[in-house]
Structure 1
Amino acid sequence: MQARMKKYQLTRNQTENLLKTEPVGRLATLGEDGFPYITPVHFVYMGGCIYFHGLAAGSKLANIQKDGRVCFEIERLESLLHDANPCDTNTVYQSAIIMGRAEVVEGLEEKKGVLDAIVAKYTPQHRGREYPENMVKMTAVVRIAVTSCTGKYYPGTA
């Protein structure tokens, strides 16, 4: 079966811009019970990888350590297009779905670099501050190496 080209594909640059600017992504891992486990995460996109941080223990980290295959999704809702017929109501949006392999970052320098990027994105007023050593030890940083990425949009006017 031949794949059909989607009408509203984001370019690579548009997709990367979405990854660099959106504040929340959704991480899907495979749970111990075999069901998908989805978690919203704050993240940064740099060097072609997605990074996020969190506690060094918990369900998402245990899932990643057992099976590093993940799916990551982001979207930007721009507006709703209301219609007199509720079935014709639509959304102007951009989104991306990323497949990849996740692993915990072990190197201290890479870990601190990611934490610096997260601080710069979410709390730039704290740039340049030192991290307490005990907090760095209790924090896991995860890198998702992107294996595929699909971006799409709907402009509202066809």
Structure 2
Amino acid sequence: MQHKMRENPLAPEGVNRLLERAMVGRVSTNGSDGYPYTVVVHFVYREGAVYFHGLPKGEKLCNIARDPKVCFEVDELLGIRKEGVTVPCKVGSGYESAVLRGRASLVDDPGEKEDILRAITAKYAPELGEAPILPQAAAGTAVVKIQVESCTGKYHK
């Protein structure tokens, strides 16, 4: 286990708060070429699962169809700690971060898909939270659920 994990583990409640407030997450899939493929996503965290949306085609979805194992990362930079520092390697940063591993799958149920799209809208554009989600827009959007199997968090203040 890495040093910061041992010294500064982020408790489950802290991880949950970070996942609720963070605006950007990163999902990594296993590429067909053997390399990881990581992309930034807008997401919501609900009932132990991460949900994100995107185009219904592309490398990320092809990778998930071939291998549903994914990694999801979220972090928040709290500041650069350099006051009184005279040696570059002593500059530090304050942050919270979480790494989740799990299995991803497409959300096929229309009701669940609409519910998640509404939750994403409420998070990123709350003023549009009550606006209708047009059927053609929902049909042209993929919603992915990551069922979390493991989670670690850490912080540095």
Query: Shorter-chain-normalised TM-score: which range?
Result: over 0.9
Identity %: 42
Aligned to 2:96: 94
**In structure 2, what residue type is equivalent to 1:133?**
P
Structure 2 alignment gaps of length 5 or more: none
Match for residue 127 of structure 1 among 129, 132, 145: 129
Give the Cα–Cα distance (whole angstroms) in 2 for the partners of residues 98 and 148 of structure 1: 6
Q: Structure 1 residues 110-119 or 3-12, which shifts more?
A: 3-12
TM-score normalised to structure 2 length: 0.95
**In structure 1, what residue type is equivalent to 2:30?**
L
Cα distance per residue 1:61-120 (max 9 Å; x no partner): 111111000001010100001121001111110000000100000100110010010000
Cα distance per residue 1:110-158 (max 9 Å; x no partner): 1001001000000000011111111111100000000000010011xxx
Give the Cα–Cα distance (whole angstroms) in 2 for the partners of residues 15 and 117 of structure 1: 19
Aligned to 1:70: 70
Structure 1 alignment gaps of length 5 or more: none
| Superposition CA RMSD, Å | 1.4
SS at match of 1:34: coil
**In structure 1, what residue type is equivalent to 2:37?**
Y
**In structure 1, what residue type is equivalent to 2:19?**
L
SS at match of 2:127: helix
Aligned to 2:11: 11
Give the Cα–Cα distance (whole angstroms) in 1 for the partners of residues 118 and 138 of structure 2: 12
Aligned to 1:107: 109
Aligned to 2:139: 137
SS at match of 2:137: helix
Give the Cα–Cα distance (whole angstroms) in 1 for the partners of residues 136 and 49 of structure 2: 26
Matches within 5 A, 1:10-29: 10-29=10-29
Give the Cα–Cα distance (whole angstroms) in 2 for the partners of residues 78 and 47 of structure 1: 26
